[in-house]
Amino acid sequence: MRLKIGNVSIDGLAALAPMAGVADRAFRELCVRFGASYVVSEMVSARGISFFNDKTINLLRISRNEHPCAIQIFGDDPDIMANAAAFALKYEPDIIDINFGCPAPKVNKSGGGAILMKSPELCARIVAGVKRVVNIPVTVKIRTGWNSSSVNAPFVAKLCENSGADAIIIHGRTRDQMFRPGVDLDTIAKVKASVSVPVIGNGDITCGQDAYNMLHHTECDMIMVGRAALGNPWVFSEVNHFLDPSNYPYTPPSIEEKLQVMLFHTGSICRNEGETLGIMKARRHIISYIRGIPFASAFRDRASRVTCMRDVEVLAEEILNTCRNDAIC
């Protein structure tokens, strides 16, 4: 199925969410390989861009293997956000996404992320400012509201659409709920009914059945997978197969394939970041890849202490040999 956000065509129904510390270039490329039809960068501080901070600027880099890809920016000053969006264009994103949904206290205290759900008119001004300076589609990512007493996502979404937003991405929880309890499909459906631009539903998509439920309950145009993709890029293959089995074959990965992809992914991070920093960033992914594998608990501590690529290779070999010796591969 083909979706259009502005003038950008997206073939498929499953997107990768912007996750800080997770959705870097290596991970985005891997998720595209396994069926993500659209990916979004880690959130990037507009103020950090204005200061030309090296670490911040590095987050803007996109490879040719991950399009269509959005760069997501966050902040609360319309002028700084507009300047950051204009600067980001040199890295050739397909879309600029604006973060009005991050629940992290550190981000909210700086005025960015989900705290902006308290200031709908400021959200609209930010969208309008960014829209004026870029020649590519602009989207926003929101939550259902700040708390249960202020569920205002349909109103915020409509204001953003009126200010030029080309699509709305909504995580179906308030900021106060963080990631529990279950996602609020009814409010996502209300957002879909309130706007004419595409709506992407996010929250608790862990498998094909979850994606189907989200699409059919809310009538949203696409779903976005977040934490469930960590250590499991195959989730996109599984979702695509569930929604369209004739065009998307899927076989669950074997233990050997999981470990091979873990090594490939770790190597990609190291090539992008250098081995020392890359291994530090990869530890979270390594632990996620081995979760659920028999005897994983025996290897988890070592996975958290790997210091070089060879450590990861030896770890994978030992896990595989243990499984083979017990005839469970």
| Pick from 127, 11, 19, 122: nearest CA to 67 | 11
Q: Of 31, 102, 220, 270, which one is the catalytic site residue?
A: 102
Q: Is the dihedral of CA 23, 65, 207, 313 positive or negative?
A: negative
User: Could you write out the DSSP letters of every residue in 187-239?
Assistant: HHHHHHHH-SS-EEEESS--SHHHHHHHHHHH--SEEEE-GGGTT-TTHHHHH
In the block, tokens 């997206």 appear at: 10
Cβ neighbourhood burial of 33 (10 Å; 0-12, 13-18, 19+): middle
Q: Would you give the end-to-end CA distance of the chain in angstroms?
A: 35
Active site residue 160: no
* Maximum separation of any 2 CA atoms in the chain, in Å: 62
Reduced to 3 DSSP states, what percent helix, strand and coil does the chain have, rounded to the nearest 5? Answer: 50, 15, 35
The length of the chain in residues reads 329
Segment holding 96, helix H or strand E? strand 95-100
Contact 214, 220 (CB under 8 A): yes
| Residues tagged active-site | 102
